[in-house]
């Protein structure tokens, strides 16, 4: 099951029975069983941030060398985490909620369509924005 979870690139698999719950968490480095307190923080599934328009995905501003949002870094709701370039127009891709960026799903410079998944964001518990 662990190998399948990694191969399928799934972050969480939860199996519930009448008397028990089993959670397997894939953090890209390993797959582990989660029990007790830690499991409650995983109730919110990762959020997929999607392209709101077709264009060219940029993880950094064209005048900068570094990506503006890095994996495993916390972002606030509304923070720009990437850009879509449409001709000469540059649109920011904002974080829809406060959370931790867990994955960048598209390569810098890739052509994307409307609705293309761009980022995975783990919402911060208690943030309802």
Residues 55 and 116 in one domain: yes
- pTM, two decimals, is 0.64
Structural domain including 53 reads: 47-123
Residues 70 and 11 in one domain: no
In a domain, 129, yes or no: no
Residue range 46-66: mean pLDDT, rounded: 94
Residues 71 and 112 in one domain: yes
Residue range 35-58: mean pLDDT, rounded: 75
40: pLDDT strictly greater than 70:
no
Give the burial class of 81: count Cβ atoms within 10 A of its Cβ; 0-12 exposed, 13-18 middle, 19 or more buried: buried
Q: Tens of pLDDT along 61-110?
A: 999 999 998 888 999 999 999 999 999 999 999 999 999 999 999 999 99
3-class DSSP state of 6: helix
38: pLDDT strictly greater than 50:
no
Residues 74 and 20 in one domain: no
């Amino acid at each position: 099951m662990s190998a399948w979870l990694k191969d399928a690139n799934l972050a969480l698999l939860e199996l519930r029975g009448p008397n028990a719950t089993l959670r397997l968490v894939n953090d890209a480095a390993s797959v582990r069983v989660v029990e007790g307190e830690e499991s409650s923080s995983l109730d919110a599934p990762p959020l997929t941030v999607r392209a709101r328009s077709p264009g060219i995905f940029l993880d950094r501003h064209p005048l900068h060398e570094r990506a503006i949002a890095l994996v495993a870094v916390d972002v606030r709701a509304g923070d720009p985490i990437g850009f879509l370039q449409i001709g000469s127009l540059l649109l920011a891709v904002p974080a829809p909620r406060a959370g931790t960026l867990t994955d960048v799903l598209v390569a810098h410079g890739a052509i994307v369509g409307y609705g293309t998944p761009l980022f995975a964001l783990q919402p911060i518990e208690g943030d309802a924005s």
